[in-house]
Amino acid sequence: MTRVRDLLDDSGLPRLEARMLLEHVLDKPRAWLLAHDTDPAEPRVQASYMALVRRRLAGEPMAYLTGEREFMGHAFRVTPDVLIPRPDTELLVETAVALLQGRPGARVLDLGTGSGVIAVSIALACPHVYVSATDRSVAALAVARDNARALGANVHFFQGDWYEALPEGERFDLIVSNPPYIAGNDAHLTQGDLRFEPRGALTDGGNGLADLASIVVGAVCRLDPGGQLWVEHGWDQAEIVRDMLIQADFEDVISHTDLAGIERISGGKL
């Protein structure tokens, strides 16, 4: 007889990952597993669990196997159509939320929303602002819409290439974006979780700066006077992004560091 505990012990995965996959298959919390670890495991559960274990051993990201990732304290649905949200990106959301305090009615835009984590988290933290979000990927937008609905966030979604997705003449007080910024020849694209994520969410296929440049240049016509743009970028791109912002006539250009001390986001004011 195979017991619940045997499934955890014999998977070949780190204990935490095995437990998360079993919790997902059983749709039960950790406390249930602890209380029932000597129960017999049903053949149906065994089969589903072992299928996930095999996929994990082949390298598939945990978030795609469980279909979920936490961000800013909210559970977001993720699929292979969207980037897996990174904790680093919470810095961009925290910066936006701080800027939006005492700004009822402010208009916010999230470019390249993916699973919707940035737009939805801002909308939930600042219910008094008007949040729009875009993505080129129809499939990603479907996931973002689902997340907004499930979490009760009011976000207006548009599909298309960066600013072209938006109604003509629509302007904002704050634009945020975590665009693809990895260079197309970066070896990391062929390693770890990145192998399974949508290529178009990770890289512009060139030097990793083309989408950042499009977003910076295009923001000038989409921000109201005094409006701000903040973008996430790679660990070695802060100086070049600050230069882009200065060239585009942004003022008070500055970068903020993440918890690891890396300059992770840069922004400025028109």
Question: What residues make contact with ligand SAM under the rule CB under 6 A?
Answer: 83, 85, 89, 112-115, 117-118, 134-137, 140, 161-162, 178-180, 200-201, 211
Output 147 or 228, the one with its CB closest to ligand SAM.
Answer: 147
To ligand SAM, the closest distance from the beta carbon of 132 in angstroms equals 13
Q: Is 259 exposed, middle or buried (0-12, 13-18, 19+ CB in 10 A)?
A: exposed
Smallest Cα–Cα separation from 112: which of 140, 84, 92, 89? 140
Burial grade of 18 (CB within 10 A; 0-12, 13-18, 19 or more): buried
Give the sheet arrangement for strand 155-159, strand by strand.
Answer: 155-159, 130-135, 107-111, 172-177, 223-232, 263-269, 251-257
**Which residue, 135 or 173, has its beta carbon nearer to ligand SAM?**
135
Minimum CB distance to ligand SAM smaller for 49 or for 230:
230
Instruction: Pick the closer one to ligand SAM by CB: 49 or 71.
Output: 71
In this structure, the number of other CB atoms found within 10 A of the CB of residue 186 comes to: 16
Name the packing angle between helices 43-57 and 15-26 (round to 10°).
140
- Look up residue 162 and give its two tokens: 């960066």
Kindly tell me which of 42 and 236 has the beta carbon lying closer to ligand SAM. 236
Q: What is the C-alpha separation between 228 and 220, in angstroms, rounded? A: 10
Say how many C-beta atoms besides its own lie within 10 A of residue 104's C-beta. 10
Which residue reads 């921000």 in tokens?
223
Q: At closest approach, how far in Å is the CB of 232 from ligand SAM?
A: 7
Q: Which residue lies nearer to ligand SAM by CB, 57 or 139?
A: 139
State in angstroms the smallest separation of the CB of 98 from ligand SAM.
Answer: 18
The minimum distance between CB 86 and ligand SAM, in angstroms, equals 7
With beta carbons less than 8 A apart as the criterion, state whether 234 and 208 touch: yes
CB of 118 to ligand SAM, least distance (A): 5
Q: How far is the CB of 234 from ligand SAM (least distance, A)?
A: 11
Work out how close the CB of 251 gets to ligand SAM at its nearest, in angstroms, rounded to a whole number. 26
Query: With respect to ligand SAM, which residue has the nearer C-beta, 135 or 258?
Result: 135
Q: Which two tokens stand for residue 239?
A: 């100086």
Q: What is the torsion angle, in degrees rounded to the nearest 10, for the CA atoms of residue 193, residue 195, residue 198 and residue 202?
A: 80
